[in-house]
A and B are shown apart, each in its own frame.
Chain A
Amino acid sequence: MDRRRFLQSLGVWLAGSVLWGCAPEQATAPKPVDQPTRPAATPTATLVYNVPLPPKPTGTKGSSPQAQTALPPASAGAFKLTILHTNDSRGYVDPCG
């Protein structure tokens, strides 16, 4: 690749990085069919949100009577759960941007 072509490629890569946030996928990899849109908001600080759930009817939940009868009590009382989660990280092990 000559110097001019390399600089052109670099320009395209930088433009893609600015628009998309990360370097584009490798040219050898086929593009996914569904191309996402970048979210309007890209927070750089931790945000916390809380949404109340509507009241729920009383009674044991379950999609079938069999499911209900097979559901022994796991622990008494209420309990808390924290889920940490990721999605669509597409192999980014290094910071991108």
Chain B
Amino acid sequence: MPQGGVARRATKIKEVRQQTQHTVLLLDAGSTLFGEALATQSQGRVVIEAMNLMGYDAMTVGQMDLVQGVEVLLARAKEARFPILSANLVGAQDRKPLLPPYTVLTRDGVRYGILGLSEPKANNWPNVSQVVSVLDPVETAKKYLPEVRARSDVVILLSHLGLEEDKALAQAVPGIDIIIGGRSRKLLPAPEIVGQTVITQVGYDGEWLGRLDVTFDEQKHVRDPRTEIISLGPEVADDPQLKALVESYSKRYPTPTPAK
């Protein structure tokens, strides 16, 4: 049964925002821009435009985001109205970060520090591995966490490392409140808890929307984490704006028909 699509996702995002009195963040854990034909043909433009319309707050970079090369990724990052983060993707020569390592978003008086980490094989593409290096994620997290923590009330890691790697990182680097993960493409039935870190991720291919609700106590410690897998099946109505966006790109990049 067909699942997913940005038009249905946008409908659910609007619903949650309308029904929620407190802060709602919209985050993506990477391998997002390329793969499906329309996204590949448009060099990721349709995805970035959709994410802009949905009001994403931040994303990190996974291996699939580098499939068309560094220049294309950086061009899409400029068009995004949200930061694309990775603390451990650096130039192979100058060792400087390719993208912002983290961002701090203030919502309703609370500062959310959001750090991005990419998997060690994120640069494993022709013409990318020569110009981009991937630093050790655990060491990179240890390096940036004090800085992010000093500027934030809540620390969120956007990770494309994989679930087991996220759990190991939470163990090795205490002080991260929440890890929104990817790469393992697990549809987690419940949040994973390692120490005081809540870890979750939600499948793949945009077929579901993940929801994590947490309460922070007076000491800003996470309490009562609840996860929800929001299905994006045919029962969800299309958001007209996102539907029109996809249709406009479909006309611009029609699916090739086989030769007779």
Contact status A60-B219, CB under 8 Å = yes
**Size class of A's contact patch?**
35 or more
Interface membership of chain A positions 65-77, coded 1 if the CB is closer than 8 angstroms to chain B and 0 otherwise: 0110011001111
A85 & B202 in contact (Cβ 8 Å cutoff): yes
- How many residues of chain B have a CB within 8 Å of chain A? 116
Q: Is B212 an interface residue (CB 8 A)?
A: yes
Q: How far is the CB of B205 from chain A (nearest CB, A)?
A: 5
| CB atoms of A92 and B40 under 8 A apart | no
Chain A contacts for B145, CB-based, 8 A: 63
Bound state CA distance, A47 and B229, in angstroms? 5
Within 8 Å CB of A26, what residues of B? 35, 37, 40
Please tell me which one of the listed residues B31, B156, B246 contacts residue A93 in the complex, with CB atoms under 8 A apart: B246
Main secondary structure of the interface of A (DSSP, over half): loop
> Would B180 and A96 count as touching, CB distance under 8 A?
no
Q: Does B193 touch A at the CB level, under 8 Å?
A: yes
Residues 8-44 of A, flagged 1 when their CB comes within 8 A of B and 0 if not, give 0100000000000111011011101110111101111
- Contact indicator B44/A87 (Cβ below 8 Å): no
In the complex, which residues 208-260 of chain B have their Cβ closer than 8 Å to any Cβ of chain A?
208-234, 246, 249, 258-260
Q: How far is the CB of A19 from chain B (nearest CB, A)?
A: 13
Q: How far is the CB of B255 from chain A (nearest CB, A)?
A: 10
The chain A residue with its CB closest to the CB of B32 is A89
With A34-B121, A39-B186 as given contacts, are A62 and B219 in contact (CB-CB < 8 Å)? no
Are A81 and B32 in contact, with the CB atoms below 8 A? no
State whether A66 touches B216 (Cβ < 8 A).
no
Q: A41-B189, A53-B223, A81-B25 are in contact. Are A93 and B50 (CB under 8 A)?
A: yes
Most buried by B among A3, A6, A44, A77: A44
CB nearest to B198 among chain A residues: A53
Q: How far is the CB of A22 from chain B (nearest CB, A)?
A: 5
Q: In the complex, A1 Cα to B258 Cα: how many Å?
A: 7
- Nearest Cβ on chain A to B12's Cβ, whole angstroms: 8
Contact of A53 with B211 in the complex, beta carbons under 8 Å: no
**Chain A residue nearest in CB terms to B177:** A61
Known contacts being A49-B191, A84-B24, is A79 close to B110, with CB within 8 Å? yes
Min C-beta distance of B15 to chain A, whole Å: 10
Q: Among the listed B8, B150, B180, which residue makes an inter-chain contact with A83, where contact means beta carbons less than 8 Å apart?
A: B180
* A-B contact list, 6 entries, CB within 8 Å: A22-B205, A30-B126, A53-B193, A53-B196, A90-B31, A93-B38
Interface residues of A (CB under 8 A from B): 1, 3, 6, 9, 21-23, 25-26, 28-30, 32-34, 36-39, 41-54, 56, 58-64, 66-67, 70-71, 74-97
